Structure 1
Amino acid sequence: MRTLVLLSLFSFVVKFGLMVQISDLWQFLLFLFPLLATMQLLKLQMPKFAALWGQLIVFMGSFIAVTNPPVYDFADFLNDNLAKIVGVALAWLAFAILRPGSDARKSRRHIRALRRDFVDQLSRHPTLSESEFESLTYHHVSQLSNSQDALARRWLLRWGVVLLNCSHVVWQLRDWESRSDPLSRVRDNCISLLRGVMSERGVQQKSLAATLEELQRICDSLARHHQPAARELAAIVWRLYCSLSQLEQAPPQGTQAS
């Protein structure tokens, strides 16, 4: 924007102060070449404003261009320059409103999607199968594989790994079968305990703590059971406990990684 304003003022001085008095091309070139050389030297001597000088040099031609034969109409000149400034201003405004999301925002968006899909995995009838959820998790994690924001990439990867591990154990528990009705009810109870642990907004820490405590109690009870099937179920419940315990390290809601 600053470049356009400076070029508009400069082109006004050049067109209506100098070019109206020039009738031969060599006279204009005698003015133009030293001007370009001076601007290039200023660009080299002022690194802080190198980008500004570069833009002035590149876009100057479109501002001081004239027709053949030349027409010096102040109204047309003013309308043309205002159109250029307003057009760039509108483009800048649109970009400010619809600017691409930063990697941090992308990471939070993918993390929320992972949590939403994980909540679905804990329902009685999940929409996604185990393999579909695994593929979707890999897809979300890969979206920031080339990100320069290491923190955003690392948190997305952590969420993906933890939720994927939990999902695998939940499916193992869901697929586990026993001829013993009491053990089947224990398995169903373990799955039902998980439904209040997670929401799309984050981990429910109070519910998670209560769930972990109950899973620990169930695991200890099953480990002392005389039936081999009960001890097999205890091993799965213990893996579920270990996977869910990683969620205790989840950041509070409202932070960058949540």
Structure 2
Amino acid sequence: MQTSHPIGVFDSGYGGLTILRQIRTSLPDYDYIYLGDNARAPYGSRSFETIYEYTLEAVKWFFDQGCPLVILACNTASAKALRTIQQKDLPGLAPQNRVLGIVRPTSEVIGDMSEGGNIGILATQGTVESQSYILEIKKFFPEVKIEQQACPIWVPLVEYGEQDSPGTNYFIKKYIDLLLKKDAQIDTVLLACTHYPLLETKIKEYMPVDIQVVTQGKIVADSLFDYLNRHPEISERITQEGALSFYTTEQATTFNQQAARFFGAEVNATQVHKL
């Protein structure tokens, strides 16, 4: 019998640690398990079918660990796999459990952050191709204008610790310029990838000063806080001892070295050999 029932937080690699960090700031008492599928990262350029398959495997793993709630802290997984898992798989797997993403909570508030209603999105190729942000934002803010730009080099730069290298400047400026060429009236830019907060300082260097740059960590944390308040039947099933565990499908020593940059503290992970 499971004695611990933590919140599961999933990402294809390290980026979801920026989300977990904010969630723990808002909700420090709950127990958490983080899983990074680093051995198969990045997800951004993979097909819908592959991302769905990988994400479903992770969700099943979390359920086996006793998690009543799983957060897909990965934009690509949220965009390409979440809805199918919620509608097709969850009723048969564990109808009493819940799987949430980060696209919807971001979409619910981003329109209010733009004074002129012109929003830019910087994301992975997979998130852009899914059109998920455009579809979701339009549900809440039908009048806004949205432009997207894929940034396929940004995640590898962060993963390899090159975010401060001179060569990174070129690729940051390149994708910002491409986005702003699509709409000169953009006043709010969403960084729709959980790796991008590590590039935030440089992004702001090349972003016009009158454009607001938005990251997702606090948005998701605030949304989860609200969700648990509205759903005591889920909240009451989560253990609250402040426990925190990290797992990775890659070698743990490699994960630990990189993860600290994203989480802002030392990480001691355990390797999962098979999901």
TM-score by length of 2: 0.28
By relative contact order (CA 8 Å, sep 6+), the higher-ranking structure is 2
Higher share of residues assigned strand: 2
Higher share of residues assigned helix: 1
